[in-house]
Structure 1
């Protein structure tokens, strides 16, 4: 049986199995089955290891504490917290209450905090003491924020706030949610998209979003026991990893932040068997013992095909691509056994519980081999953007969600990312995919990170500009624009080769650590040179 037929059987089987009713039911399942097993293991910081039973008691106390504050089904509760067990348990507790949690990035400016709290219609807020000064100023200066209650974890906050530790101490460590009817399609989260252009949109996600994604990933990688979580909990990554862990009784190993210098050591020290890798990680310096690890699989999204091949050999573990986004969760997945697809550039086959269609500009399905926009539908996808009727009208075509990404599909059913609809450079009569040019530049050994975008040009409409961060030990002399042009000329058609080059120390980034390309094009970031024009050989 070939890999596609085997995967099709897997997909049909997992779709035929009953789904747990909601996130609360999923966590209860894991507590009952894996009570004494480790659920939370701290990485790189102080803190205690917690079992599933211990997490369950903290979840119960958190739910009772929220009830004491007045939280009920349908309440909107913002969480401005670091990556701690209290943060995770607050999220699950709110899920059991049928409330809607709002993940808040602690790095937000005051303006961004005001926007998020008002746009999400937050009624309650749980925060940590280190964020109180920013919050106190915000509430004092912005009367539009209509919070009913604020609770502070850590040291006592202002007199108008409640101390979260006191509420937890007074709460029972048993919580009965049988009287609260929460369906799989009820909202559980408002997660904000990257917002690289203007303010972000709040995605209203249902319980099934997490129940389905956890189930699918557990089915794809069933031998997992230790999962590295190094993204903040206001982001989707740790939440789906926890849902994944609950199905298997695995532990999430939680680091305060991602690190390009410590990730290999973390894998080894904590015997991680499921981790994540991206281009930047794959391009770090090779160690002599990198393959001496406990990894069983590394997930990735958007990795350069050449880097994927090199990283598999370096770490001695399968690296499997997928395609997903905040709005739909998983859309496509690469089966673990699809070794022959390594380095193909494909992001896999249609994920369980999902239908994928490549459509033309009118929303009609097009034949395989042709490029069009990827549409996705299925249970548990985004219910809409809160307070954004125009964005909702643009994002949906009936039950289909329009991803805004261009794809093509081969005859075997594998999907290939082509470009983002808004990430196309129109140079004269040619459409140039910024992603294609970026992939070429990532192949240069001296390059650590790169972004490509358009700049206005009177003659051609737009020209191609490359923004480049070099690895330590290299500079614009050792890797000059001219050298880059020579390299690109062997890979790219002449019209795709960037005309402009600028070197940077750091790029502006979104809350999910993606390059905020719009901000970069608008002049943000830490530049180390001016812009070089290869046409006339000048810096300006």
Structure 2
């Protein structure tokens, strides 16, 4: 139908779900989940039921729908169901503190939340503080007054649904990414962004086909995991494995051996943890089904890459992407791997290393990494000044420091700001510092990221104690538990060092580079 004024008709749910049924793949398995196998026809009906159910609740085009779900068929059905009716799904991290969800809901102005029961139960008591929320849909659990059971809600909806009159440039979904102030940024993506990332990275670099079975240890709520576990396999008519449990090495190995994926996606911390576990066993775990492994989220240490290759005879393709770019835009590739580097530019994207004024730098000079490509986010939600600072014409300023060598390989040198990437997740040092400062014994604190013995970045806190408090190992443990109690557990400082004073400029600004270099006064007798 030609509807004047909407631009080129396009709906991502049609592209990634309906098209597979239309081309004869209706009976092919799309999702392996626990004891369930869901084919493309079943998935299409789940998507349509979710979309119709949202419409029945009064959800209209461009309304936001918060998705607080574990990796599951319901996540994918809700995500694409919302997109199909022109609404905007907003997947969020399942590991956050209750107060974070208050921010997500109020900042996004979501009218509906779709949540697994164990996650909703942690924030149910805050409902009166969710200003814009009208409807709560609960998966796998008992509901209370004013809540809707997902299965009942879905089953009573029609399996037939025509897509909304969206265009390729309509808003499709949001992702949240933390900023250096600790306030999450709503990243707005358009309908065509997923297909662009699929075509240029998954199809070109991974050479993915409908015979592939993907398994991502990184959850769907991350930009990285959303591609790996959803629109990459769905884009080619392949299949995805969704793991209901935590991504600890034991669970990941068991899932690989059970389902036999052909492409595995992880992060450096996990790869190293898997190696550490497997080295304790007499017989290596069976990864013979896997043809390629992928890593992103933080730089992959060469030692991890070598250990993995020696143990399993498998290459790991390290790359860099971002929530703003939708997925990976620089990557190593099969037959062209440079240990320690992030690889080369993914065709379809352009990158440049520039100085503070945006002028390109020659090879081997460290500068700001900029990226250009048609999967870049439309903008940040309600952040006018940040948009001007980061989205510069067609270019996005990533905040990463890089250099490019004469052969075209890119080498990561750190963050332009003080953000920490621990376990593939951005962590704001300001957020951690603000919590630690709430403890009665603390006078001052500064948090930085430092590499551990395996080369992976973890938070470290430098602390100045108030008079009357003495440094001790017991206090360190107490402070770590204090942070875990008030923030998501992965944000706690893995190490704590007590010092006499923080290095500062004449104007009182903390000189973090001195903390990183080790040139600071250390408290005695620690």
Report TM bin, short chain.
Answer: 0.7 to 0.9
1:334 to 332, 335, 342: 332
Cα distance per residue 1:83-138 (max 9 Å; x no partner): 22112101011111111111133443332111110111212222333344444321
Contact in 2 for aligned 1:231/1:237 (Cα 8 Å): yes
Q: Tell me if the contact between 1:360 and 1:373 (Cα under 8 Å) persists in the aligned partners.
A: yes
Aligned with residue 220 of structure 1, among 185, 188, 205: 205
1:231-253 CA distances to partner (integer Å, 9 max, x unpaired)? 33322233212111023322211
Q: Superposition pairs for residues 14-29 of structure 1, below 5 Å?
A: 22-29=12-19
- 1:235 maps to 222
Displacement of 1:70: 1.2
Question: What residue number does 2:306 align with?
Answer: 309
Q: Does 1:123 align with 2:111?
A: yes
Question: Would the alpha carbon gap of residues 515 and 266 (structure 1) be closer, same or farther in structure 2, given more than 3 Å must change?
Answer: same
1:297 aligns with 2:285: no
- Write the distance in 2 (CA, Å) between the matches of 1:93 and 1:135: 24
Corresponding residue for residue 454 of structure 2: 442
Conserved? CA contact 2:499–2:521, under 8 Å: no
Does the 8 Å CA contact 2:27/2:40 hold for their aligned counterparts? yes
How many residue pairs match? The answer is: 446
Matched, 1:40 2:24: no
Structure 2: runs of 5 or more not aligned? 1-7, 421-447, 465-472, 501-517
Partners of 1:35 and 1:303 in 2: CA distance: 38
CA contact (8 A) 1:190 1:204 kept: yes
CA deviations 1:140-196 (Å, max 9, x no partner) are 3x2x6122333333445333233333332221212112xx22223222222111457
Q: 1:412 to 1:454 in 2, by over 3 A?
A: farther
Alpha-carbon spacing, 1:417–1:508, altered in 2? closer, same or farther (3 Å): farther
**259 and 156 in structure 1: CA distance in 2 versus 1, 3 angstrom threshold:** closer
Structure-2 separation of matches of 1:508 and 1:275: 32
Per the alignment, residue 403 of structure 1 pairs with: 398
- Contact preservation (8 Å) 1:502, 1:531: no
Residue matched to 1:358:
353
For structure 1, the 5+ residue unaligned runs are 1-17, 426-433, 444-448, 458-475, 477-500
Rounded Cα–Cα distance in structure 2 between residues aligned with 1:263 and 1:507: 30
Supply the distance in 1 between the matched residues of 2:177 and 2:65 (Cα, whole angstroms): 18
Aligned pairs (5 A) from 1:148-297: 148-155=134-141, 157-177=143-163, 180-194=164-178, 197-215=181-199, 216-221=201-206, 222=208, 225-241=212-228, 242-256=230-244, 257-280=246-269, 281-282=271-272, 283-285=275-277, 286=279, 287=281, 288-290=283-285, 292-297=287-292
1:20·1:211 contact (CA, 8 Å) conserved in 2? Answer: no
What do residues 455-485 of structure 1 show as CA deviations (whole Å, max 9, x unaligned)? 599xxxxxxxxxxxxxxxxxx9xxxxxxxxx
SS of aligned partner of 1:167: helix
Partner residue in 2 for 1:5:
none
Cα separation, 2, equivalents of 1:373 and 1:98: 36
> 1:365: Cα distance to partner?
1.1
Provide the rounded CA distance (Å) in 1 between the counterparts of 2:110 and 2:30: 30
Using a 3 Å threshold, how does the CA distance of structure 1 residues 253 and 505 change in structure 2: closer, same or farther? Answer: farther
Query: CA, structure 1 residues 71+263, in 2 after alignment: closer, same or farther (shift >3 Å)?
Result: same
Confirm or deny: 8 A CA contact 1:22 1:183 kept in the other structure: no
Q: Is the 8 A contact 1:371 1:407 kept in 2?
A: yes
How far apart are residue 297 of structure 1 and its match? 0.5
8 Å CA contact 2:30, 2:238 repeated in 1: yes
Structure 1 residues 505 and 291, CA, compared in 2 at 3 Å: closer, same or farther? farther
Could you say which residue in structure 2 is the equivalent of 1:467?
A: none
Are the aligned partners of 1:78 and 1:125 in contact in 2 as well (CA < 8 Å)? yes
Question: 1:502 & 1:166 partners in 2: Cα distance?
Answer: 46
C-alpha contact 1:22 1:182 (8 A) present in aligned 2: no
Aligned-partner SS, 1:411: coil
Question: CA distance change for structure 1 residues 292 and 122 in 2, over 3 Å: closer, same or farther?
Answer: closer
TM-score (norm 2): 0.76
Task: Report Cα offsets for 1:279-335 as digits up to 9, x if no partner.
Answer: 332241324334652110000121101221221121111211111111112221212
Q: How far, CA to CA, are the matches of 1:197 and 1:214 in structure 2?
A: 32
- CA deviation after TM superposition for structure 1 residue 21, in Å: 5.7
Task: Report the Cα distance in structure 2 between the residues aligned to 1:126 and 1:166, rounded to whole angstroms.
Answer: 13
Post-superposition CA distance 1:10-69 (Å, at most 9, x none)? xxxxxxxx9976343222222333222211112xx4x41111111111111111111111
SS at structure 2 position matched to 1:362: coil
Shift of 1:270: 1.4
Q: In 2, Cα distance between the equivalents of 1:205 and 1:379?
A: 11
RMSD of Structure 2 on Structure 1 (CA): 3.4
